[in-house]
């Protein structure tokens, strides 16, 4: 469930749907994604569209349990790359929890 790397915060493998909405540079674009892993400061996602670095967006991840609140955050795209299978992998930095 946790990956072993040299980051300051542990990353949890969650593999769950996420909804993204751009804030800037162009507001209101919506993307469906899969959140692969999550930490206190960022997340890794898979999606079909290439996002530009420094794009600001809201990230919404619904909870699968009634006692756990959904995740709503503002995040910035740090990196994004297209994989051999055409899927895009993006790393997002969480700027603020909403």
d(CA 56, CA 16): 21
Question: Of 98, 90, 95, 74, nearest to 37 (Cα)?
Answer: 90
SS3 state at 60: strand
| pTM for the whole structure | 0.86
Name the superfamily (CATH) of residues 12-97: predicted glycosyltransferase like domains (2.40.10.220)
Which residues, 6 or more positions from 16, have their beta carbon under 8 angstroms from its beta carbon? 34, 35, 61, 64
pLDDT truncated to tens, each residue of the chain (98 aa)?
Answer: 444 455 566 778 889 999 999 999 999 999 999 999 999 999 999 999 999 999 999 999 998 888 989 999 999 999 999 999 999 999 999 999 98
Among positive and negative, which fits the CA dihedral 77, 34, 69, 38?
Answer: negative
């Amino acid at each position: 469930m946790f990956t072993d790397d040299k980051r300051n915060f542990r990353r949890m493998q969650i593999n769950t749907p996420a909804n993204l909405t751009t804030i800037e540079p162009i507001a209101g674009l919506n993307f469906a994604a899969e959140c692969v892993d999550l930490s206190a400061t960022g997340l890794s996602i898979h999606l079909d569209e290439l996002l530009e670095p420094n794009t600001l967006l809201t990230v919404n991840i619904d909870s699968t349990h009634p006692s756990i609140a959904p995740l709503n955050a503002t995040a910035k795209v740090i990196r994004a790359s297209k994989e051999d299978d055409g899927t895009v992998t993006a790393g997002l930095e969480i700027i603020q929890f909403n």
